[in-house]
Structure 1
Amino acid sequence: MSENAITRRSFLAGSAGVAAVAAGAGFMSFGAWEQADASGTKDVESHTAYSLCNSCSSKCGFKGYVVDGKLTKMIGEPGHPHCEGTLCGRAYGYASIAYSEDRLTDPLKKNAKGEFEKISWDQAYSEIAEKVKSII
């Protein structure tokens, strides 16, 4: 077995670490969420949205609570056939990807030095379209 091989034990340990980081990376605790919701501050925009988790092939349904444009709480959808009202730890950890410092938000292209640099979306779409046309 190679030294970089992922075992079940290392995967579970890593998942627990991701969940711990996600818990401290801007997600509100349930108590804090209830307190903020009860205060009824009028300058805070909040709503709920229904979605599916993309962490695995089950695509469990959930209701997400969004406060000022940020997902703050997820609850499994009771009527969904796979999750039946519960979500796994992977689902909660997957939601933190949107707020990760390492998340790519701009298209990148390798320059002459072999390093990635940001390019505009218009440039990225244009270059992709040119390559698709040449393939066709």
Structure 2
Amino acid sequence: MLPRAKRVRTPADFSQTLRSGARTGRRNLVVSAHLPEPTGIESSAGPVRVGFVVSKAVGNAVVRNRVKRRLRAAVAEQLSGPLAGHPAGTVVIRALPPSATAAWDDLKKDVDSAMVGALRKAAGRRRPGKTGTPA
């Protein structure tokens, strides 16, 4: 289970990440990542937070909860990997209906590759905004 400090919990955080975040999709899921503008004060930035959206289209309550548990387990491994370098970022993973029947290996591969792709896109979006720094 993810610690409370590392979870996206409010509807406003979900909607901000889904609307303005960089999106990367795979067969079983879609990852949206939103990285804040760098302020130069990394020590005050909180940890990266992750949220999950698993709709009724995925299956009944038992299936949805199983998918959420599997996604949380896959993301827990990412927290010390690609997600560690992005403090104060938010990531939302939306499960698609095929995730209900996906094998663990396929789901984990989709999480890993989509996470890397979304973080790369999000980091690319915020870099051109830097102005006024002499070369």
TM-score norm. by structure 1 comes to 0.32
Structure having greater relative contact order (Cα 8 Å, sep ≥ 6): 2
TM-score norm. by structure 2 comes to 0.32
Higher Cα Rg: structure 1 or 2? 1
By percentage of residues, which structure has more strand? 1
